[in-house]
C-alpha cells in the first residue's frame, strides 16, 4: 500500500492527502516527528522535507507537486490537471503561486498568530509532545510583540495579501471550482494553504476553526473559507460526490 510520510498540520501534506483522495487511492499515513523523525526521511529520500510518498513498489517521491504529478500520471481516473491546454497552464501557474507566494504569506501569518496566542502554539505541537514542552510553549512571554510580528509580516504586505484573497473569495461566490467545472490541482493547492489561516475539520477537534483571527474575522473572506470547507467535504467524506 502507498505510504505517506507527513507532518500532521503541514499544508503541503494536506495538499498531498487531498490529491490522494481526489484520485481515490488507498494509502496509510506515517506521522513524522519534527527533528528526530526527519533523519529517517533523509535516509530514504535524500532530503528532509515532507511530504514524502512511498509507492506500493517502494518507489520514493518527495515534494507535493512531484507526488501529485506522479499519482496523476500513474492513475487515469479523476485527472488532477485539466486537459484543455489553457486550463492546464492556468492550473500549473496557480499551483506554483499557492506553493510559493501564498504558502510563504500563510506561514508568516500563522507564526504571527501563534506568537499572540499561546493555545494555538501548543495545539500545533505534535500530539505526543511531552506535557512539559507544551506547558513551556504556552508560557513563553514574547516581549515587544508588535516589533517582532511586524518583522515577520508587515501590515502593508498583510493587507495586500488579504486583498488578493478577498478577490478570490468574491470570484468563487457562484463557482465550485477555480478553473472550469471540475476539481483540479488549482483548487487543491489553494484550499490546502488556506488551512494555515483557518484550520479545517481535517485538522482535528483541537485546531478546527482556530488560526489567524484577522483572516477568520474578515467578512470578505467568509465565502473563501466556506468554499474550502466544501472542497474538504467533497474529498474527505466518502459518500459525498457533490459540492
Ligand atoms: N516544495 C515542498 C515544500 C515542503 C515543505 O516546505 N515541507 C515542510 C513542512 S510544511 C517541511 O518539511 N519542513 C521541515 C524542514 O524544512 O525541515 C513541497 O511542495 O512538498
Domains of the chain are: 2-74 (3.40.30.10), 85-236 (1.20.1050)
Q: How far apart are CA 57 and CA 143, in angstroms?
A: 51
pLDDT at 9 over 50: yes
C-alpha cell belonging to residue 69: 504529478
Tell whether ligand 1 has an atom less than 6 A from the beta carbon of residue 213. Answer: no
**pLDDT-derived band at 110, boundaries 50, 70, 90:** very high
Atom 12, ligand 1: which residue's CA is nearest?
49
Ligand 1 atom index nearest CA of 48: 17
Using DSSP bridges, classify how beta strands 27-31 and 2-6 pair: parallel, antiparallel or unpaired. Answer: parallel
Q: 157: pLDDT confidence band, cut at 50, 70 and 90?
A: confident
Using a pLDDT cut of 70, give the percent of the chain over it.
87
Decide if 155 contacts 147 (C-beta within 8 A). no
More confident site: 148 or 52: 52
Q: How far apart are CA 53 and CA 67, in angstroms?
A: 7
Checking if the pLDDT of 10 tops 90, the result is: yes
Q: Report how far ligand 1's centroid is from the alpha carbon of 51 (Å).
A: 7
How far, rounded to the nearest angstrom, does the alpha carbon of residue 186 sit from its chain's CA centroid? 12
pLDDT at 130: 67
Are the beta carbons of 29 and 85 closer than 8 angstroms?
no
CA–centroid distance, 5 to ligand 1, in Å, is 12
The CA 10 to ligand 1 mean position distance, Å, reads 8
Question: What Å distances lie between residue 143 and 118, 197, 201, 211, CA to CA?
Answer: 13, 24, 33, 21
Its pTM stands at 0.92
- The whole-number average pLDDT for the span 90-104 is 97
Residue 243 pLDDT > 80? no
Calculate how far, in angstroms, residue 47's C-alpha sits from the geometric centre of ligand 1.
10
Q: Per-residue b/e over 229-239, b at no fewer than 16 CB within 10 Å? A: bbbbebbeeee
Instruction: Tell me the CA distances in angstroms from 67 to 5, 62, 179, one per residue in order.
Output: 12, 6, 21
Per-residue pLDDT tens digits for 182-226:
999 999 999 999 999 999 999 988 899 999 999 999 999 999 999
Which atom of ligand 1 is the closest one to the Cα of 49? 12
From the CA of 138, how far away is ligand 1's center (Å)?
Answer: 25
Q: Whose CA is nearest to atom 16 of ligand 1?
A: 49
What confidence score (pLDDT) does residue 153 get?
72
Angle at 7 between CA 132 and CA 97, to 5 degrees: 130
Mean pLDDT of the region 70-84: 96
Q: What is the mean pLDDT of residues 18-29?
A: 97
Distance from chain centroid for Cα 53: 16
Amino acid at each position: 500500500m502507498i505510504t505517506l510520510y507527513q507532518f500532521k498540520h503541514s499544508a503541503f501534506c494536506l495538499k498531498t492527502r487531498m490529491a490522494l483522495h481526489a484520485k481515490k487511492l488507498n494509502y496509510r499515513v506515517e506521522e513524522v516527528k519534527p527533528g528526530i523523525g526527519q533523519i529517517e526521511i533523509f535516509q530514504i529520500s535524500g532530503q528532509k522535507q515532507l511530504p514524502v510518498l512511498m509507492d506500493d513498489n517502494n518507489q520514493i517521491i518527495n515534494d507535493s507537486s512531484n507526488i501529485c504529478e506522479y499519482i496523476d500520471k500513474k492513475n487515469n481516473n479523476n485527472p488532477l490537471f485539466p486537459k484543455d491546454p489553457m486550463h492546464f497552464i492556468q492550473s500549473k501557474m496557480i499551483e506554483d503561486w499557492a506553493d510559493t507566494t501564498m504558502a510563504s504569506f500563510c506561514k508568516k501569518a500563522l507564526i504571527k498568530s501563534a506568537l499572540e496566542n499561546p493555545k494555538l502554539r501548543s495545539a500545533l505541537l505534535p500530539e505526543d509532545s511531552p506535557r512539559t514542552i507544551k506547558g513551556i510553549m504556552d508560557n513563553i512571554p514574547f516581549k515587544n510583540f508588535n516589533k517582532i510580528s511586524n518583522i515577520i509580516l508587515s501590515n502593508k504586505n498583510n493587507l495586500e495579501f488579504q486583498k488578493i484573497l478577498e478577490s478570490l473569495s468574491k470570484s468563487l461566490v457562484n463557482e465550485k471550482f477555480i478553473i472550469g467545472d471540475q476539481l483540479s490541482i488549482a483548487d487543491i493547492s489553494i484550499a490546502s494553504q488556506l488551512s494555515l489561516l483557518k484550520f479545517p475539520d481535517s485538522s482535528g477537534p483541537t485546531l478546527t476553526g482556530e488560526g489567524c483571527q484577522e483572516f477568520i474575522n474578515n467578512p470578505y473572506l467568509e465565502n473563501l473559507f466556506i468554499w474550502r470547507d466544501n472542497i474538504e467535504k467533497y474529498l474527505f467524506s466518502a459518500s459525498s460526490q457533490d459540492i
